[in-house]
Chains A and B, each alone.
Chain A
């Protein structure tokens, strides 16, 4: 009876092992890179139903973030403005602009505008805006320089690792509470230290952290309930 396995099969186990090893490594490597929010989220810039430009409203007109996101200091969610908020101004300004047709339509019909969601924490994460903006964490820390964006994109990865980096060292992001919505704030804008030199973010942060008893949670229940 002839051999069941021809001679070339002698190499097969090694080939399988090698191929398997390569596959394993590339799967792991692929996952560590492509399955992270840093890859999947950052840069996400969907087309919005209304071509609203933060850049015009904030940089040119000087609107404060809280004019539209009015409950950000009182609520977990930072609310989107109602159509009514848009119409506060746009019933008089740019009344006939075709770019605002959707807004006017919404106001007329009562049908709300469906904005495409960009930043989204998973359902099991309970992020709270008010806990951050009331305590000197600026919008810019998590959303980037929204004031310069004509169309908003996802700026930071907002992964758990990213959250914890700041929760472990909040001093890198703390600023005076009245500067939270000033996205152009620089540590140098603050009064200099005793030595007359401008203070760094870290120095300011360290000082505020102690003065305000800032103690961000780093255990599960801080965000998962």
Chain B
């Protein structure tokens, strides 16, 4: 029996714009009125107040049966209401999607977005394809930010000294504060905020500084590009710019601890451009070559053709050796001169790696003007300066690297703010966003420092560590709730417009700052409009320009111009000279401890986001936790034990790890260990952002806090760490790496470009070299004894996934989750293999079969989703026909028919079916096992986040990828509207995208009509790199893959193994 939602009672609204007052939403107050009471005069009281419970249903059933012979009425549905608006709302069609352009403010530049809203509630973020720096893609964080908007644990109340207060009291307090601050010129006032490109914020800051000239303005980001900026200032004389790599033009790229394929670290354009050079369509095509130097696998390292395992602290030494080799080869005077600034011994410090480095350098030099060296933001400033010098010697400035004007964050450092706070000079401190009590460098001892300030006003989304002890906690408005503006990574002026009124009465940073600057309460976009007028100058019609700005989401042609940047070798040299530090090469007794950004929670700001927490890390496949990562050799040496299939408590298989303690000086961190293949020895990586103390239910008891070891001097890695095993029961991790294992068949296929060129094309049977790998080479195709239904549809849907460009970033997983109302299941359910995500991002390590204990694997990523097999094995075993084929080749799921036998999941060769073991959508995750005794229902806000075009599934139902059937139907019906009384019913070629395809920043996923010869997917499927998984099963999947092509440098040590693993060891890894 279907359970009917209990909707909230109707409340009056002056505008008629309230989320539950929409058509199509069933306002379910099941008061069986009039007719029901007449027909069931007694014993029906219960039904007047309650929803149709099991008990009342049985009663009714009994009643209708008893009365059946008398011909009286049976039960009817509860009365429902349709509530139209009072005044018609512009643009809004009840139940239909409405798209608005906005952008998500991010540290490195806002991400342009198109937000899908339905009946006034935003439900899905997409990239803004009109924006020049976007290809319509987004990333995990942008996708998941929708969930944050609806997070029921987001702060809802103004708190004054911990007691509930309100906005008016806060406004009064600010007014009083203004008077005090005016008196002392703002000397006692300090503002701490995050990086932002918002011109309006900059404008208000100007106003504030004018009124309070002695005010302290501090910008702090735990993970920042400060090191690069510092080096830029020395090497180019200005930090008010940024270096923008042109990956589309680069043939050879060396990444020195740079994870530039992580969108948060660079931008969408970088990923798109890089991918454009990884695609191979024909043997004559060229591709770029990526060398990566890093201590642990990142998504960038996974994409690399050659990867050097190197301690994070020694990347500087690699840079020096690389510089030396480049200098020698190019006879670059400035670079040679710069190298004289450091001891010669440093240059040859990493003897063992020198052959690798020298070959990489040769490749760089051979491609002068088409090569690029990237230095990661976590590397010290002198390495950046060195990187600039190498790029200079390679002639990268201009062809592959341009300097673009970008205002540097202006303000004092966190350390100097801390200094002022310590001296007692700061009486009032505003903290916008961020969470310094949790993430400020440990040596500042921020929580104590904050106590020295008389009044701390915290404007934040969560009542967290920093709000503790603060005088004021003010709920912050989400970016989808407030007006704002920003600049995207290319400097384009973008709009941030609200999609919905603040759900919990939050206020934005701009509103509070403007209030502090003495502005009256601002309604609507007035503040932004003022800024807009100053930026959009030469426009004839202000109102029109503003409307266009909001419609497009950005101001056309407002990208930042190129900055005049001349590399100053002398500046760089003296900078390297003064800043050069040589951390010791880590050893077993003095390891290095590396603090890394986390793919799920970044620096801790996304900790309470369930989608991100349950998203498996692209590399470690760890969910709900972080872990101290180290190599197998290091773990063995430390006497650590780990198990990959611990079933100790009978509650699913967990990966377990022993505990270690990392001690540096008098600071220490305790964490459990996860062995990470490809990690360098004597190095421990622990990602930031976990182990929060004051956080909502989602982030609670998750992972280990790395911040205690983070100091102002050593923000990203610290040497001389004493690592030792500590006693304790092994910690159980939830990883997805064992889920849906496909048992070592040749599923992922890769080959070096040379091999591809040699074997390109098809054989006489029309099968490509790639298709015949592994088992598919010698097993004759089987014959289906079942006949599939006729595929007579006008469209035939299919998908092709290019493994050459898939970085494994997992944005598709979250996009799918957001689009298809997929629930999270919690850490303990993940361990039982019950994760619900429809796309599984498989990460394969590959090593050579003949090489035992290879600690230097390569990584392959493969997203796997329902293959919509034409001879679908799942369909033949379903006893109730709940999963059947449709005429367009979709393997469709009728949830209402499903009785939960799970035979289909058993019979699925790709293991892509997901079963609702519990009511994940309507019961709290910690009460799943209470069954019907558990609390029923979820927060109202969570209901708002659902896509109304997709059924929310209940317990006992099987589900899986539908190829976004709601989007397919929407497109088809949209075409019917166009066709009307014509026969033009064919959906235009490639006119819509699935959620996973739309989000993919590297455009690896292509979906479309394979019956249409013009569609992109048809063309991809005709390529000789195209293969289907488990071809020998003859299930005829509609999803195919393009084998990954790697581009090894033949002269490189170990080059013969690159991309060869599937060829030599065709039965998998």
Q: With A112-B16, A130-B977 in contact, is A221–B86 under 8 Å at CB?
A: no
B87 touches A124 (CB 8 A): no
Shortest CB-to-CB span from B965 to chain A, Å, is 5
Q: Measured between alpha carbons, how far is A130 from B76 in the docked complex, in Å? A: 28
Give the shortest distance, in Å, between A125 (CB) and chain B (any CB).
9
The stretch of B260-268, B459-467, B887-895 in contact with A is B887-895
Would you give the shortest CB distance from B128 to chain A, in whole angstroms?
Answer: 24
* Contacts known (A115-B82, A225-B969); A124 close to B895, Cβ less than 8 A: yes
Q: Contacts of B893 on A, CB cut-off 8 Å?
A: 220
**Using Cβ atoms and an 8 Å threshold, which residues of chain A touch B69?**
26
Given A116-B79, A222-B969, decide whether A110 and B15 contact each other with a Cβ distance below 8 A. yes
- Complex alpha-carbon distance, A77 and B69, angstroms: 38
Interface residues of B in 887-905 (CB under 8 A from A): 887, 890, 892-896
What string of 1s and 0s marks CB contacts (under 8 Å) between B971-987 and chain A? 00100110111111100
B118 to chain A, nearest CB (A): 11
Q: Determine whether B81 belongs to the interface, using a CB cutoff of 8 Å to chain A.
A: yes
Interface pair A126/B86, CB less than 8 Å apart: no
B879 at the interface (CB under 8 A from A): no
Please measure, in the bound complex, the distance between the C-alpha atom of A8 and the C-alpha atom of B501, giving whole angstroms.
76
How distant is B70 from chain A, measured CB to nearest CB, in Å?
A: 11
Task: Give the shortest distance, in Å, between A224 (CB) and chain B (any CB).
Answer: 5
Segment of B6-14, B160-168, B563-571, B641-649 in the binding face: B6-14
A193 close to B (CB within 8 Å): no
Cβ proximity bits A103-131 to B, threshold 8 Å, 1 near / 0 not = 00011011111111100101110101011
Flag whether A75 is at the interface (Cβ < 8 A): yes
Q: Report yes or no: A120 in contact with B65, Cβ–Cβ below 8 A.
A: no
B88 at the interface (CB under 8 A from A): yes
A221's nearest neighbour on chain B, judged by CB, is: B892
Contact (Cβ within 8 A) A83 B84: yes
CB-based contact A75/B95 at 8 Å: yes
Across the interface, name the chain B residue whose C-beta is closest to A176: B981
Q: Which A residues, 28 to 48, have Cβ-Cβ distances below 8 Å to chain B?
A: 30, 33-35, 39-41, 44, 46-47
A85 surroundings in chain B (CB, below 8 A): 88
| Interface flag for B579 (CB, 8 Å) | no
Q: How far is the CA of A212 from the CA of B976 in the complex (A)?
A: 10
* CB nearest neighbor in B for A35: B74
Given A40-B74, A83-B86, A221-B890, CB of A26 within 8 Å of CB of B68: yes
The residue on B at minimum CB distance from A85 is B88
Cβ of B64 and Cβ of A213 under 8 Å apart?
no
Contact present for B950 and A225 (CB under 8 Å): yes
Given A110-B15, A112-B85, A126-B966; A136-B981 close (CB under 8 Å): yes
Complex interface: chain A residues within 8 A of B979 (CB)? 134-135, 212-213
| Cβ of B949 under 8 Å from chain A | yes
Q: How far is the CA of A193 from the CA of B930 in the complex (A)?
A: 69
Contact of A212 with B981 in the complex, beta carbons under 8 Å = yes
Contact of A82 (CB < 8 Å), options: B10, B87, B896: B87
Q: Is A80 an interface residue (CB 8 A)?
A: yes
Taking the closest CB of chain A, its distance from the CB of B681, in whole angstroms, is: 51
Given that A213-B983, A224-B895 are known contacts, is A113 also in contact with B83, CB under 8 Å in the complex? Answer: yes
Q: Is the CB of A225 within 8 A of B949?
A: yes
- Chain B proximity of A137: nearest CB distance (Å): 11
Q: Could you tell me the distance in whole angstroms from the C-beta of B22 to the nearest C-beta in chain A?
A: 9
Check if B977 sits within 8 Å of A134, measured CB to CB.
Answer: yes
Closest Cβ neighbor of B74 among chain A residues: A34
* B94: interface (CB < 8 Å): yes
Would B977 and A73 count as touching, CB distance under 8 A? yes
CB-nearest residue of chain A to B951: A124
User: Distance in Å from the Cβ of B938 to the closest Cβ of chain A?
Assistant: 16
Contact B65 A27 (CB under 8 A): yes
Contact A112 B64 (CB under 8 A): no
- Kindly report which residue of chain A lies nearest to residue B882, judged by CB atoms: A220
Minimum CB distance partner of A117 in chain B: B80
B18-33 CB contact bits vs A (8 Å, 1 = yes)?
Answer: 0001011011000000
Q: Is the beta-carbon distance between B885 and A114 smaller than 8 angstroms?
A: no
Q: Say yes or no: A120 contacts B80, CB within 8 Å.
A: yes
Beta-carbon contact of A220 and B981 below 8 Å:
no
Contacts A106-B86, A122-B2, A225-B969 given; indicate if A111 touches B12 (C-beta within 8 A): yes
Q: Chain A residues near B951 (CB, 8 Å)?
A: 123-124, 224-225
Q: How far is the CA of A156 from the CA of B644 in the complex (A)?
A: 60
- B983 — nearest CB in chain A belongs to which residue? A213
Contact A107 B86 (CB under 8 A): yes
Which label, helix, strand, loop or mixed, suits the secondary structure of the B interface?
loop
Q: Is the CB of B1057 closer than 8 A to any CB of chain A?
A: no
A211 within 8 A of B: yes
How close is A124's CB to chain B, nearest CB, in angstroms?
Answer: 5
With contacts A77-B24, A224-B895 taken as known, whether A126 is within 8 angstroms of B94 at the C-beta atoms is no
Q: Give complex CA distance A106, B10 in Å.
A: 14
Is A55 an interface position by the 8 A CB rule? no
- Chain B residues whose C-beta falls within 8 Å of the C-beta of A79 in the assembled complex: 23, 84, 93-94
Q: Is B962 an interface residue (CB 8 A)?
A: yes
With the chains together, A135 CA to B21 CA distance in Å?
30
**Which among A107, A177, A221 is the interface contact of B962 at CB below 8 angstroms?**
A221
Q: Is the pair A135, B976 in contact by a Cβ cutoff of 8 Å?
A: yes
Considering the chains assembled together, what is the distance between the CA atoms of A124 and B3 in angstroms?
12
Q: Which residues of A contact B27 (CB under 8 A)?
A: 114
Q: What's the minimum C-beta distance from B485 to chain A, rounded to whole angstroms?
A: 32
Interface centre among B64, B86, B977 (most CB of A within 10 A): B86
- Contact residues, B512-538 vs A (CB, 8 A): none
- CB <8 Å contact, B887 and A110: no
**In the complex, A109 Cα to B11 Cα: how many Å?**
12
Contacting pair B26 A224 (CB below 8 A): no
Known interface pairs A112-B86, A225-B949; A131-B81 also in contact (CB < 8 Å): no
B16 contacts across to A, CB distance below 8 A: 82, 110, 112
B402 interfacial contact with A, CB 8 Å: no
A81 at the interface (CB under 8 A from B): yes
What is the bound-complex CA distance between A184 and B231, given in angstroms?
80
Residues of B within 8 A of A84 (CB): 85-88
Please give me the residue from chain A that is nearest to B963 by CB atom: A221
- A192: interface (CB < 8 Å): no
A97 at the interface (CB under 8 A from B): no
Q: Please tell me if A215 contacts chain B, counting CB pairs below 8 Å.
A: yes
CB within 8 Å for A111 and B86 given contacts A126-B969, A130-B977, A219-B884: yes
- Give the CA-CA distance A74 to B95 in the complex, in Å: 11
B691 CB → nearest A CB, Å: 40
CB of B990 within 8 A of chain A?
A: no
Quote the shortest CB–CB distance from A70 to chain B (angstroms). Answer: 9
Q: Are A112 and B21 in contact (CB under 8 A)?
A: yes
Q: Residue on A with the closest CB to B893?
A: A220
With a cutoff of 8 Å between Cβ atoms, the chain B residues found around residue A34 in the complex are 64, 68, 74
The one of A35, A47, A134 in contact with B980, judged by C-beta atoms closer than 8 angstroms, is A134
Q: Does A101 contact B (CB under 8 A)?
A: no
A212 to B982, CA, bound (A): 5
Residues of A within 8 A of B65 (CB): 26-27, 30
Known A34-B74, A212-B979, A221-B886: A113·B68 in contact at CB below 8 Å: no
Inter-subunit contact A74/B96 (CB<8 Å):
yes
Contacts of A41 in B (CB 8 A): 77
Some 16 contacts from A to B, beta carbons below 8 A apart, are: A30-B68, A76-B973, A77-B95, A79-B93, A80-B84, A83-B87, A85-B88, A109-B12, A112-B21, A114-B83, A117-B26, A124-B895, A128-B969, A135-B980, A212-B979, A221-B892
B interface, CB within 8 angstroms of A:
2, 10, 12-16, 21, 23-24, 26-27, 34, 64-65, 68-69, 74-77, 79-88, 93-96, 794, 884-887, 890, 892-896, 949-951, 962, 965-966, 968-969, 973, 976-977, 979-985
Given contacts A77-B23, A79-B94, A219-B892, 16 further A-B contacts (CB under 8 A): A26-B68, A27-B65, A34-B68, A82-B88, A83-B85, A110-B12, A110-B14, A112-B21, A114-B27, A116-B82, A123-B26, A131-B973, A134-B976, A213-B985, A219-B884, A225-B950
Q: Which 9 pairs between the two chains have the least Cβ-Cβ distance?
A: A219-B886, A213-B983, A117-B80, A77-B95, A114-B81, A80-B84, A221-B892, A83-B86, A30-B68
